[in-house]
Amino acid sequence: MTTEIDVHNAIKSMEGSGKTFAEFIAELFKNKFIEVYLGDAYEQISTEQISMEYPCVFCGKVIGAYKECLILSAAYVDSNKKIVLGNLVFINERAVRALSPLEDKAPLEDMFLRSKEASHIKSMFKI
Tell me, what's the pLDDT at 79?
95
**pLDDT > 70? residue 65:** yes
Per-residue model confidence as pLDDT tens digits over 74-111: 999 999 999 999 999 999 999 999 999 988 777 777 77
| pTM listed for this prediction | 0.79
CATH of 4-125, one of 2.30.30.100, 2.170.270.10, 2.40.30.20, 1.10.30.50: 2.30.30.100
Q: Confidence band (pLDDT; 50, 70, 90) for 20?
A: very high
Q: Which residues are paired to 55 by β-bridges?
A: 41
Identify residue 26 by its one-letter amino acid code: A
Where are the domains positioned within the chain?
Answer: 4-125
Q: Confidence band (pLDDT; 50, 70, 90) for 43?
A: low
In whole angstroms, what is the distance from residue 115 CA to residue 104 CA? 25
Taken in order 102, 106, 110, 116, the sign of the CA dihedral is negative
